[in-house]
């Protein structure tokens, strides 16, 4: 997101606001994303990260924490937290809590029509995850590389036009910061999302060692994860870990990159 104005709102009047399987109906305010046009190709447009920080005092966030605790305690295999929140509470949730790492029994995570702008790396601890459904979450443009740790994940339903570098439109990727060989002058627990994409980075996306033991080397890579090719943000501790990454998905940028004005394959519109 490249501006600082208050997000504009529109009302969804097309049935259920959380999950097409529930059959519920109602109206919901959703934030409009202006990062890039998700209907027309503009591969040279300037893009950035969403800068919002999660308000951890908001009722929606507090309710979500309770729902995660309940799901972890009862060991459920399907987790649909947003249908338990009111419309306003859903709008208040722009990420998921780190406590999702405790949802090791969940096989299907449903985040249909969310207001999310980022997913925390702790999703990689959801080792039973087989299906991931963040469909129509139009402000969710990228995912953490840690999602590749979900080895059982075989099905996904993602709104691909909302993704950086997607094959239909080829929107650009945000330009990443220069690599840091030391994080001595950086607070990994309080990062500026405008610069780093995330608000916290505690461990290496590749080797899982604490970032404090190395540096912070961020790169983009597009990989097939379950059904879809996703733009993944890697927060590595060293250039060695970056070098250990595989090549990108077929018909995408073939190697890890820093974003910005990088050449991409032609879109489906060309």
Q: CB–CB of 141/35 below 8 Å?
A: yes
Asked whether residue 258 is domain-assigned, the answer is no
- pLDDT at position 26 over 60: no
Measured CA angle at 142 (ends 179, 92), to 5 deg: 110
Range of the domain at 124: 9-243
Which residues lie below 8 Å from residue 208, measured CB to CB, with a gap of 6+? Answer: none
**Region 258-267 average pLDDT:** 91
| 264 located within any domain | no
In a domain, 147, yes or no: yes
Which of the residue ranges 37-41, 106-110, 124-128 would you say has the lowest mean pLDDT? 37-41
Residue 34 forms part of a structural domain: yes
User: pLDDT-based confidence at 22, cuts 50/70/90?
Assistant: very low
Q: What pLDDT is attached to residue 269?
A: 61
Q: How many CA atoms lie within 13 A of 69 on its CB side?
A: 6
CB 149 within 8 A of CB 127: yes
- Which of 15-19, 108-112, 253-257, 265-269 has the least mean pLDDT? 15-19
To which H or E segment does residue 241 belong? helix 239-243
User: pLDDT tens-digit profile of 49-106?
Assistant: 999 999 999 999 999 999 999 999 999 999 999 999 999 999 999 999 999 999 999 9
For residue 49, being part of any structural domain is answered with: yes
Tens of pLDDT along 122-153?
A: 999 999 999 999 999 999 999 999 999 999 99
Q: Is residue 60 part of a domain?
A: yes
Give how many domains the chain has, as a whole number. Answer: 1
The alpha carbons of the chain give a radius of gyration, in whole angstroms, of 18
pLDDT digits (tens, 9 = 90+) for 218-260: 999 999 999 999 999 999 999 999 999 999 999 999 999 999 9
DSSP for 193-235, please give it.
Answer: HHHHSSS---B-TTT--BGGGS-BEEEEEEEEETTEEEEEEEE
pLDDT tens for residues 147-204? 999 999 999 999 999 999 999 999 999 999 999 999 999 999 999 999 999 999 999 9
250: left (phi over 0), alpha (psi -120 to 50) or beta: beta
pLDDT of 40: 85
Report the distance separating Cα 1 and Cα 162, nearest Å.
Answer: 13
16 by Cβ neighbours in 10 Å (0-12 / 13-18 / 19+) ranks as middle
- Asked, for residue 257, whether it belongs to a domain, the answer is no
- pLDDT score, position 270: 53
Q: Quick check: is 250 in a domain?
A: no
Angle at 128 between CA 93 and CA 158, to 5 degrees: 50
């Amino acid at each position: 997101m490249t501006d600082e104005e208050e997000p504009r709102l529109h009302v969804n009047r097309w049935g259920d606001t959380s999950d097409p399987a529930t059959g519920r109906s109602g109206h919901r305010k959703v934030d409009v994303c202006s990062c890039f046009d998700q209907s027309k190709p503009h591969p040279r447009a300037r893009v950035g990260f969403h800068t919002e920080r999660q308000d951890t005092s908001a009722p929606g966030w507090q309710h979500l924490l309770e729902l995660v605790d309940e799901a972890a305690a009862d060991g459920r295999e399907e987790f649909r937290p947003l249908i338990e929140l009111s419309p306003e509470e859903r709008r208040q949730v722009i990420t998921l809590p780190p406590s999702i790492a405790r949802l090791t029994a969940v096989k299907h995570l449903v985040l249909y029509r969310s207001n999310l702008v980022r997913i925390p790396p702790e999703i990689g601890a959801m080792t039973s995850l087989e299906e991931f459904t963040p469909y129509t979450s139009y402000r969710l443009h990228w995912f953490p590389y840690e999602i590749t740790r979900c080895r059982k994940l075989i099905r996904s339903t993602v709104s691909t036009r909302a993704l950086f570098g997607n094959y239909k439109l080829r929107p650009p990727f945000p330009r990443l910061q220069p690599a840091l060989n030391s994080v001595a002058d950086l607070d990994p627990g309080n990062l500026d999302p405008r610069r780093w994409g995330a608000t916290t980075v505690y461990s290496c996306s590749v080797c899982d060692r604490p970032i404090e033991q190395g540096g912070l080397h961020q790169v983009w890579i597009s990989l097939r994860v379950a059904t879809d090719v996703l733009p993944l943000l890697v927060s590595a501790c060293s250039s060695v870990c970056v070098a250990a990454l595989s090549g990108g998905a077929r018909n995408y940028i073939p190697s890890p990159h820093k974003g910005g004005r990088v050449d991409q394959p032609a879109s489906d519109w060309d």
